[in-house]
Chains A and B, each alone.
Chain A
Amino acid sequence: MASEKDPKDPYLKLIQNLKPEQLESALETFKQLLDHKLVADLQSCVHCGLCADSCHYYLVSKEFEAIPAYKLKLVASVFRKLHTALGGLAKKPDGVCGLDNQMVERWIDSLYGRCTLCGRCALNCTIGINITRLIRTARTTLASIDLVPPGLQSTVTTAVEKGNNMGIPREEWLSTLQWLSEELQAEVVDPEAHLPVDKPKAEFLYTVNPREPKFFPLSLLSTAKIFYAARESWTVSSDYYDVTNYGLYSGDNKAAALISSRLRESMIKLGTKTLVLGECGHGYNSNRWEAPEWIAAEDGFEVKSVIQIIAEYIRQGRIKLDRSRNQKPVTLHDPCNLVRLGGVIEEQRYILKNAVTNFVEMSPNRLQNFCCGGGGGQLSMTRFAKRRLEAGKIKADQIKKTGAQIVVAPCHNCIDQLSELNREYKLGVEVKTISEVVADVLVIEKKEK
């Protein structure tokens, strides 16, 4: 593995000292996770190799461990050993077959360390294999024997134990909201303006990335300003408001189900009609698409991205924007989990066309966008940080080519990675959320008494 060659690294020791019963237990989990879709995918690869160029890790490093077909083969060889007559005889090119310590090391290196679960390989696979789902299944297998890389695991643990992934105490959250309410009142010159907390029967419950109250409170203020302008009936929960769910990335389905079910509990407790997810790509994928599967229950309410809500406001004339206030060239980064895996593709473009005068698309974009490199839990796995920044070169080059001065990303994880890329590759751009861009050009009309 890249940066974890230190023999004293306890994680590395853990891998090297795996006991046979742990491997047996992992295999049992792997078996239980298999369904007909995964099994069909595991038997379908023709090793055409065309997926290689879909992966930003491979494009930058040209290392075979990053080729999606290789990653798939790592998982498929364990399946074949388990479930086919000839599987036991089949050896991988590097001689590894079945789930042993060596294979576990390879799984961690390639499936955690060289993949952001962005889905680009799956979309471009000649056959149509859902490689992303297979890789996540392998991660779930590793999670079952506590082999999630430490940084990623601690993010999940914090979310499970503290209720949000940054461990923000309730009092701090409430005081931030209070402070932001005062800021909002000053900005819109309305003493009644505020960020509602635990308001029963509101139209929607708004969820945020804890990075907003912790590090970027003005981002949350921007969204609140938009809701204020739209005269929206909304609320946040005093308890569970974290839109993120790193269980998606760690593979721990139990933790993922628990984290997402808390938002649903808040929905029921407050009697709100719609769960509105803040600007967070994986938060959208987790809570819109994956959570019902983890929890094994249909949602009795709508789940929407705040991007969809803002686009509706503009369409319905509920907010007015003066786009002439933003003359700088603006480009848009498509978060993989929101766009390619989420299906929210055009709303952000519609918003930006109404909010800025000079919108420039990146190329490629929409479904074919390149991952910024911040997904898959990479931001929390410091051991793979060097690779993450290198793989981000593809995105940095895309941004450079647009000539944009502002990069908009409807995802706080992407914003973190893009900000790092901004420094690393000297892009000289501002990185903003959709809400921030919209709030900047919002025309606030005085409330009728």
Chain B
Amino acid sequence: MSLFTALKLGVVASVLFCLVMLAVMVIRTFSFGRRPTYAHPQGSNFAGIVYAFGPGMLPWEKESAAKHIWTYVGGVLYHLGILIAMLYLAAFLLSIRLPTILLQAVRILLVLGIASGVALLIKRMLKPHMRIISGGDDYLANILVDLLLFLALATSFAETVLVLFYVTAIIIFIYIPFGKLRHCVFFFYTRILFGDFFGRRGVIPHSSERA
């Protein structure tokens, strides 16, 4: 078995490990039980959930995004970069060759993702209130993901770096369930709960007005 084949299998195994662990975490979370709700609804849970994943994500609806628009844009680009890196990784695993024009687009998005990730890391290190709420996991997760994006970009220019790209991917997939990166699942979980809570009370969907 060649090194590349072994690493490919390693990536697949780590993805499976990650998925199983995340599934266990979700099942365990559910195992804490569900309390029945007794108050009569005023609004729609469903409409609240739709809002939570739709308009509720937009900066003019969410003050935290509106007040920190560059962090918001950086966050969007960072996550877009991560998605692209994951798809690029999948393309290598499936031996799919990207056409040049698509590859150029991938490179641009990866560069934007890396720049955003590094900017967010610097912000975390420089802002006193960010340092207070941050732990080792916050820095490690950011650095690992930035590295993955960088190696994805490097691989797009020189496939000799592919080994490092695979190794980093394996580390990240193993790390995901143990740190903040698990929000790749819990974000959706929590967002549904958010929409359910405020939607039921008829608070959302409702247009907000800000300063």
Contacts and interface: CB of A to CB of B under 8 A. Distances in A.
Given A93-B135, A289-B201, A343-B202, A128 B195 contact: yes
Given A36-B33, A46-B180, A47-B138, A64 B206 contact: no
Nearest to A361: B209
A39 B32 contact: yes
B6 to A, nearest CB: 29
A127 B129 contact: no
B190 A41 contact: yes
B182 A341 contact: no
Interface in B187-205: 187, 189-191, 193-195, 197-198, 201-204
B130 interface: yes
Contacts of A92: 135
B210 interface: yes
A35 interface: yes
Given A43-B29, A296-B36, 16 more contacts: A34-B32, A35-B34, A38-B32, A49-B124, A50-B71, A51-B64, A53-B67, A54-B63, A93-B131, A126-B64, A126-B65, A127-B191, A298-B40, A341-B203, A366-B208, A368-B209
B183 A127 contact: yes
B82 to A, nearest CB: 13
Interface stretch (A66-74, A417-425, A431-439): A66-74
Interface residues of B, number: 60
Interface of chain A, main secondary structure: loop
A415 interface: no
B133 interface: yes
Contact of B38 (A47, A53, A93, A293): A293
A344 B181 CA distance: 37
Interface string B102-124: 00000000000000000000001
A73 to B, nearest CB: 6
B177 to A, nearest CB: 10
Given A297-B38, A364-B211, A39 B29 contact: yes
B63 A44 contact: no
Max chain B C-beta neighbours (<10 A), residue from A37, A62, A73, A345: A37
A10 to B, nearest CB: 31
A432 B130 CA distance: 40
Contacts of B29: 36, 39-40, 43
Nearest to B138: A47
Contacts of A2: none
B97 interface: no
Contact of B35 (A35, A45, A47): A35
B210 A368 contact: yes
A36 B132 contact: no
Contact of A130 (B42, B63, B197, B202): B197
Interface in A235-254: none
B60 to A, nearest CB: 11
B38 A296 contact: yes
B39 A288 contact: yes
The 9 closest A-B pairs by CB, nearest first: A128-B194, A343-B202, A292-B38, A50-B64, A124-B64, A64-B132, A292-B39, A44-B186, A364-B210
Contact of A69 (B124, B133, B194, B197): B133
A289 to B, nearest CB: 5
A364 B64 CA distance: 13
Interface of chain B, main secondary structure: helix
B62 A124 contact: yes
Given A47-B138, A54-B63, A54-B64, A40 B40 contact: no
Contact of A343 (B42, B67, B132, B182): B42
Contacts of B194: 122, 125, 127-130
Interface residues of A, number: 65
A409 B35 CA distance: 34
Contacts of B189: 40, 44
A123 interface: yes
Contacts of A123: 198, 203
Contacts of B56: 128
Contact of A64 (B25, B67, B133): B133
Contacts of B182: 43
B10 interface: no
Nearest to B195: A128
Contacts of A40: 29, 186, 189-190, 193
A164 B142 CA distance: 53
Contacts of B35: 35, 293
B52 A128 contact: yes
Contact of B75 (A38, A45, A48, A299): A48
Contact of A345 (B25, B64, B203): B203
A380 B68 CA distance: 35
A267 B47 CA distance: 32
A70 B71 contact: no
A37 B193 contact: yes
A78 interface: no
A234 B140 CA distance: 63
Contact of B135 (A39, A90, A293): A90
Contacts of B186: 40, 43-44, 127
A388 interface: no
A363 interface: yes
A19 B175 CA distance: 38
B133 A127 contact: no
Given A37-B193, A39-B32, A289-B201, A368 B38 contact: no
